[in-house]
Amino acid sequence: MRQILIKQNPDELAKAAVDQFAQIANRSIVAHGSFSVALAGGATPHHLYALLASDNHRLKLDWSRVDFFFGDERHVAPDSDQSNYRMAKETLLEPLDISASRVHRWQSELPDANEAAKAYEDELREYFERSGRRLDLVLLGLGEDGHTASLFPNTPALGEIERLAVANRVEKLNTDRLTMTFSSINGASNVMFIVSGRYKAEAVQHVLEGEFRPDDLPAEPQERHDRHRQQH
């Protein structure tokens, strides 16, 4: 079931995202005794993470039952200011004193991006086997070009159907990104996009209602892919 919440400003957006996050987390903790979430990178979730760790909201769930993953990562060291892990560590994981055993980060410091992706895939598969289920929630952002996680338009990872995590060559950024694939994202029980800024309105409109162009707009919802497949 798709739900679209439109908020007036970043504060209201972050507050609404905190409530959605806490609802999904507590539902999972009641049902399974634990909650697994893949965090989004980029700038937009920064506010959400800080709010979740704030005195006003941190008591909304039992953080000792949460396992943290990352939807994607830049091919940089974990202390780099480009690191999604570092951003989450400073705004959420450290303030909440999350145990290192519950934090599953990409080994993005490995020189070989494919090796880092394989290691993360193994960690995901091991976790799915141990927990007996896929991720409970994947948080995602949206780029103006329609990318999400590090699934950029017209890049090799878009065609990946077997793997759960890959290194994705992004020529326009002249770099390899580390990203979960459609298979691991769409396998999750819940997916939540957090998108902020007037300059992204067109991308949101295209992804939700525009012409079906999956290679140009990787963030297009799965049901559009399914509908397209049924009609062709």
> Contact between 173 and ligand 6PG (CB under 6 A)?
no
Give the whole-angstrom CA distance, residue 99 versus residue 82: 23
Q: How far is the CB of 147 from ligand 6PG (least distance, A)?
A: 6
Q: Does residue 143 touch ligand 6PG according to CB under 6 A?
A: yes
Nearer to ligand 6PG, 48 or 61 (CB): 48
Give 3-state DSSP helix, strand, coil % of the chain, rounded to 5.
45, 15, 40
d(CA 142, CA 200): 8
Here the contacts of 155-163 (C-beta below 8 Å, separation 24 or greater) are 157/181, 158/182, 158/214, 158/215, 158/218, 163/117, 163/121
Minimum CB–partner distance for residue 45 and ligand 6PG (Å):
7
- Which among 17-25, 38-46, 48-56, 108-116 is the span making contact with ligand 6PG, rule CB under 6 A? 38-46
Nearer to ligand 6PG, 61 or 72 (CB): 72
Residue from 93, 98, 94, 91 nearest 65 by CA: 98
Taking CB under 6 A as the criterion, the residue among 10, 42, 78, 95 binding ligand 6PG is 42
- Residue 71 CB, nearest approach to ligand 6PG (Å): 6
Rounded to whole angstroms, the Cα distance separating 215 from 156 reads 10
Report yes or no: 22 and 60 within 8 Å, Cβ to Cβ: yes
Reading the block at residue 158, the tokens are 């878009």
- Window of 34-42, 48-56, 206-214, 222-230 that interacts with ligand 6PG by CB under 6 A: 34-42
User: Site map for ligand 6PG, 64-83, x if CB under 6 A?
Assistant: -------xx-----------
Minimum distance, C-beta of residue 150 to ligand 6PG, in the bound complex (Å): 6
Residue from 47, 68, 141, 203 touching ligand 6PG (CB under 6 A): that is 141
Task: Single out the residue of 14, 28, 37, 41 in contact with ligand 6PG (rule: CB under 6 A).
Answer: 41
DSSP symbols for 47-98: HHHHHHTSTTTGGGS-GGGEEEEESEEESS-TTSTT-HHHHHIIIIITTTT-
Please select the residue that binds ligand 6PG; options are 36, 84, 168, 181, rule is CB under 6 A: 84
Task: Kindly state the helix (H) or strand (E) to which residue 28 belongs, with its residue range.
Answer: helix 10-32
Query: Binder to ligand 6PG among 5, 31, 43, 173 (CB under 6 A)?
Result: 43
Which residues here bind ligand 6PG, judged by CB under 6 A? 40-44, 71-72, 84, 141-143, 147-150
